[in-house]
A and B are shown apart, each in its own frame.
Chain A
């Protein structure tokens, strides 16, 4: 059984296998930002309360400041940079929630935005798009992330907007 101070890990990040050698104490948030150059994941509190650093690990939202980078060895991580889809013509198709955030003015400074986007995207992906989105579902999706700019009204509006778009797409 090896007890290490550094590890080389392999992680599928946004669909791409990535390898990095990191000190074992490196937080996943720092590894994504500084070792893999994915600075879209933001660090707001480093104690798990604000949610700005939320990424998807194997599809589920988790706080990347509350995981060690070594813990995602062999797992799949999705960051805000991975929400948009390739349009196969060299461009990208934004995720409906990304479109909705812009349409509904659901961001101001944009610092908390990636954490909201990943969390909401996962929440919307997991549900039946044909079902009516309840306010309770929305509260659950946005309730664990702090935003200091928007007062949340437009974020909640954006979730509804995105769900409606996904409902249309599902038809």
Chain B
């Protein structure tokens, strides 16, 4: 049965247009639109003392200039704190255009609209903004010291103290046979999609309605934000996410100032206005993530079993908190990973710095969490002289312990209860896949070649598919075409294909007949958005439910026509047929025609459906409680998140002359429950691993003490080319989720999560020195190994006693 496509590596339907250059990305829309450009702050913290636009007024092609003073009504108010939280006691947001004070380099101050982007930049360049510089706070330690404040009324720079505890940690620590404490750091990186952000807005002056295209991960929410901020009725605003050139978190909504300003200008000017972010703008004004300082104390016994865990995190949230404390909460709650932690206390202090805002980047606080937990496991193993895999195995949640309640509250306000998993199974597969037990032989062989070899592993559990809901709509047309829509958006995840596979399987129609639309508020108005590895879980299940609704109706109508019981019918290849009785069938498209009694026969198909063909005079053309059309809309709203899991291992070789780090093997075992399309899932893993490697060895946002981003270009922000990404070997495990109809878990972010932890572990294993700051580059590794202060691992000392290198 060719329509049973769930679980098959179906080739992607979206590729047909993308490989011939016919994709439609934001900047491909509106070739005649006016262009916006921004004057952005060159200072990390400064009071604006004047804005002189005089010199720009002569620029031929200039259309309009906007500053804060031009904002009115809700637009003049601070941007929303999108996700309030009781522990976010000092939320602060900026304005769409800066008012009085700028708090990071890149903050927008003036919007210029001109005939094209070149001219807009010419005008922007001529606008003179004068500043009085203020003291600058960069980095979590400086924020914590609080010699200066990012916001004058938040003198300690603390936006939120997020705290969770599952018991009284101190007495347990005091009673533990052993404890250890350490501090480690992780630096900033960023989503850095290949396409920057962008917004195109068109105001219909006659209809008084607004159409906005935006390169977003959440079009319904952008729509709501625009309506609220520009005082428009929701029904007069439509927002469409066209093809989006990657998101990875940064295109989430809060909303971005430009998503409000560009529509505002379009309305004011009665013209099409477009802003396509350039790369430099993206570096200095679009969100980053990851910087944390982690102070960890763990209690454990002589076998390496954890008794208690106490973690204090300083989390850099940048200059503002529009997205609340989602990232801190995720770090706090996902830190426990696949392990039994009898007593756990965590406090994340989310602090302000004079840097770009921090919102989720693929993984969203989990890479940091995994780094904290997994490096703790490594330390315990090292202290006890145990195999790092063994210590992990002794702490794993066992398969018979599900559902496993961690007694924590997740980012969606729901309990952290793991629904299903087989973590020992992951471990068995990982050790086999990477050759864990043969590592010592590899180490000797590499040493003979003059290289330091090391191996490391990291496990994670990832809460995916959080609510509150997504919806799906499925409609069969008289032509046989099946229209599917959902409100959430796509940024390359292959939703058009995966969702079509689900409908093909549920409804029994050929995939060629299915057309999927995502992220278009004209088609589906209710949605949350694409983030937190939720699209397949949320919209996938909603669409499955919608397809089941259509199926039920189709069978009911067909049963009537074929004069059989609906339970005797099946749908295959678009044909509703009596099971086991060839010939007794009716095409689904005919059922669709019959489902909508018509008055007018405007084509042959419609002729069949005119009301005059109805045979039974005793019933109304549309039965009571029924509706015309073969369509169904449904929603999926989960009780709580479903928890995917995985394990990664890396083998690195280090040249002790140059301290260059080469990943010679990278192994992934991955469990995201039932898989809609294994080809797509594997692609997500590959891409995630590349970002994990980037985050571990190459990428960091380098701010100097004045808050200037030192590497705001692809030249100096080192996203990996193919030459930097190792080959990845993958093995799969499937423990279906009991929480949703399809049994699936999210897969989008997983690949990136354990990279930093696993690679840090492998490097530490190779050089025998504690790695407590990531990412790490050769120059830093060189500093580390020759520093008299760097701490040797116990394992390296033991190896040295045995006469083995490093």
Contact = CB atoms under 8 A, between A and B. Distances in A.
Interface string B221-250: 000000000000000000000011110100
Interface in B1-44: 11-12, 14-16, 18-25, 27-28, 31
Interface of B: 11-12, 14-16, 18-25, 27-28, 31, 116, 118, 192-195, 243-246, 248, 278-279, 491-494, 679-680, 682-683, 686-691, 713-715, 719, 721-723, 725, 727-728, 751
A151 B714 contact: no
A107 interface: yes
Given A109-B491, A110-B18, A147 B194 contact: yes
Given A102-B12, A143-B722, A153 B727 contact: yes
A40 B279 CA distance: 19
Nearest to B493: A108
Contacts of A44: 194-195, 245, 279, 714
- For the complex of A and B, 4 pairs with smallest distance between CB atoms: A40-B21, A109-B492, A111-B245, A110-B18
A45 B492 contact: no
Nearest to A138: B722
A15 interface: no
B246 A109 contact: yes
Interface string A90-124: 00101000100111010111111110010000000
Given A79-B21, A101-B19, A142-B722, A43 B27 contact: yes
Contacts of A152: 686, 690, 721-722, 725
Contact of A146 (B19, B244, B714): B714
Given A79-B21, A143-B723, A151-B725, A33 B27 contact: yes
Nearest to A117: B19
B774 to A, nearest CB: 19
30 contacts: A25-B118, A33-B28, A39-B27, A40-B20, A40-B21, A44-B279, A46-B278, A47-B713, A47-B714, A80-B21, A94-B19, A105-B680, A107-B19, A107-B492, A108-B246, A108-B492, A109-B195, A110-B245, A110-B492, A111-B492, A112-B194, A147-B194, A148-B192, A148-B691, A149-B683, A151-B690, A151-B728, A153-B686, A153-B725, A154-B686
A140 to B, nearest CB: 10
Contacts of A151: 683, 686-691, 725, 728, 751
Contacts of A39: 21, 24-25, 27-28
B31 A37 contact: yes
A150 interface: yes
Contacts of A156: 722
A163 to B, nearest CB: 16
B687 to A, nearest CB: 5
A113 B18 contact: yes
B714 A113 contact: no
B25 A111 contact: yes
B21 A38 contact: yes
Contacts of B723: 139, 143
A47 B712 CA distance: 11
A38 B22 CA distance: 9
Interface in A38-85: 38-47, 49-50, 52, 79-81, 83-84
A102 B15 contact: yes
A26 B118 CA distance: 8
B21 A148 contact: no
Nearest to A152: B722
A111 B21 CA distance: 9
Nearest to B683: A105
A164 to B, nearest CB: 17
A171 B781 CA distance: 52
Contact of A50 (B118, B194, B680): B194
Q: For the complex, would chain B's binding face be called helix, strand, loop or mixed by DSSP majority?
A: loop
A73 B549 CA distance: 59
B20 A98 contact: yes
Given A149-B246, A153-B728, A113 B19 contact: yes
Q: What class of interface size applies to chain A in its complex with B?
A: 35 or more
Nearest to A103: B11
Contact of A98 (B19, B244, B245, B721): B19
B698 to A, nearest CB: 12
B23 A108 contact: no
B721 A146 contact: yes
B10 to A, nearest CB: 10
B668 to A, nearest CB: 11
Contact of B22 (A40, A103, A139): A40
Kindly name the residue among A23, A37, A153 whose own CB sees the greatest number of chain B CB atoms within 10 A.
A153
A10 interface: no
A34 interface: yes
Nearest to B490: A109
Contacts of B31: 34, 37
A108 B193 CA distance: 12
A100 B113 CA distance: 42
Contact of B683 (A45, A146, A154): A154
Given A42-B194, A109-B491, A148-B248, 13 more contacts: A33-B27, A41-B21, A42-B25, A43-B27, A47-B714, A49-B714, A110-B23, A110-B243, A111-B492, A149-B683, A150-B686, A153-B728, A156-B722
Contacts of A45: 279, 713-714
B245 A109 contact: yes
B615 to A, nearest CB: 46
A129 interface: no
A87 to B, nearest CB: 13
A155 to B, nearest CB: 7
A145 interface: yes
Given A94-B20, A98-B19, A153-B686, A148 B679 contact: no
Nearest to B244: A109
B728 to A, nearest CB: 6
Nearest to A84: B20
A105 B246 CA distance: 16
Contacts of B278: 46
Contacts of A149: 194, 246, 492, 683, 687
A133 B243 CA distance: 33
A61 to B, nearest CB: 15
A155 B19 CA distance: 13
Contacts of B248: 148
B21 A81 contact: yes
Contacts of B116: 34
Contacts of B195: 42, 44, 109, 111
Nearest to B117: A30
Contacts of A37: 31
B246 A148 contact: yes
A107 B15 contact: yes
Contacts of B687: 108, 148-151
A81 B28 CA distance: 14
Given A33-B27, A101-B19, A105-B12, A111 B194 contact: yes
Given A33-B27, A45-B714, A109-B491, A81 B194 contact: no
B551 to A, nearest CB: 30
Contacts of A50: 194, 714
A99 to B, nearest CB: 8
